[in-house]
Amino acid sequence: MGRKRGRDIDGWLILDKPLGPTSTDMVNKLRWAFDAKKAGHGGTLDPLASGVLPIAFGKATRTIPYIMDATKRYRFTLTFGESRTTDDLEGEVLATSPNRPTDDQILAVLPALTGNVMQVPPVFSALRVGGERAYDMARAGRPPELPPRPARIDSITLVKRPDADTAVFDVQSGKGVYMRSLARDIALACGTVGHISVLRRTKCGPFDLGHALTIDQISLDKSTQTVDNADALPAPLLDAATALVDIPALAVTDAEGRMLVWGQSIDPLDLVHPLPASSQGEDHLWRAMIGEHVLGLCHVRHGRLRAARMLENHEFFGEHDVDYRRTPHGTDF
């Protein structure tokens, strides 16, 4: 068999995504620049959105679901007076309104849009309807009727009013919340129409703009490589486990860590460092750690502690590690 294309590279690159390209465009560009076997991103940003785009390489791709589920922060500008097909500046004008809300009117509608709400996604979105992407149907002149979906919006803050036509907001939200829909709904609740004219993600899980590099700060020109620096990365990467820092840590022994890595379960009562009694429910995730090293994630299922997603495999413990799949101590009961 031929060698799989690319290098084994593990870690996170936090990109300050520019306006214009898609998130997939940026992943492909950086995968090529890093010559990486495997890469993905932790949450799509629209072409007209900028800001924090976490890009995972190698082992870090295993933690993408936890970044996708993580809390995110955005800052956007809502322009009043025009609704658009895409709910942002890119679309065609659908309707207009002369109404411009006051600050007090805006503040009055925000509580009803905060918390666990039902949100209608933008017609121009990547949702699938009968096997087709919604945006493909909309571009073909067949915009689908998208049902409302549950959304969690933690907070909406009116930051400033540059003028009567615009308002700037900071938003903290959960997974799958569309800022374009939120901007549309704020305008409608104020008795007018509107669309997003500027959108920037400022935080995604544990990653914020302080971690982010612009594309100009990453060495993309391979013509400058020499024999001496051929293995150097175009930019430094954060450890793959950085994505998990918001998840509580659980210290495990070498033997316990081996069992989890081998896919064996452990009675929580047998742990050397027991789980807190208040946190043994099946909804809790834990970072399994040996010293300062993260093995991966574990959780309690059917009364036993099991691996949820491991970053390490048996090679972490050495070539002569005990095969816990074959020993009585590693047997599930």
Q: For 136-174, how does the pLDDT look when each residue is reduced to its tens digit (9 = 90+)?
A: 888 888 888 888 999 999 999 999 999 999 999 999 999
What long-range pairs does 322-329 form, CB within 8 A, spacing at least 24?
322/258, 323/262, 324/258, 324/259, 324/262, 324/264, 325/262, 325/263, 325/264, 329/255, 329/259
Distance of alpha carbon 58 from the chain centroid: 16
Comparing 99 with 319, which gets the higher pLDDT? 99
Q: Say what the pTM is.
A: 0.85
Catalytic residue among 16, 46, 88, 185: 46
Find out whether 296 and 309 touch, Cβ atoms under 8 Å.
yes
What does the alpha-carbon distance between residue 180 and residue 171 come to, in Å, rounded to a whole number? Answer: 12
- Predicted pLDDT of residue 156: 98
pLDDT average, residue stretch 127-132: 82
Indicate the residue type of 68. Answer: M
With CA atoms as reference, report the closest residue to 186 among 65, 30, 267, 80. Answer: 80
pLDDT of residue 227: 43
Q: Let me know if 46 is a catalytic residue.
A: yes
Under a CB-based contact definition with an 8 Å cutoff, are residues 180 and 196 in contact? yes
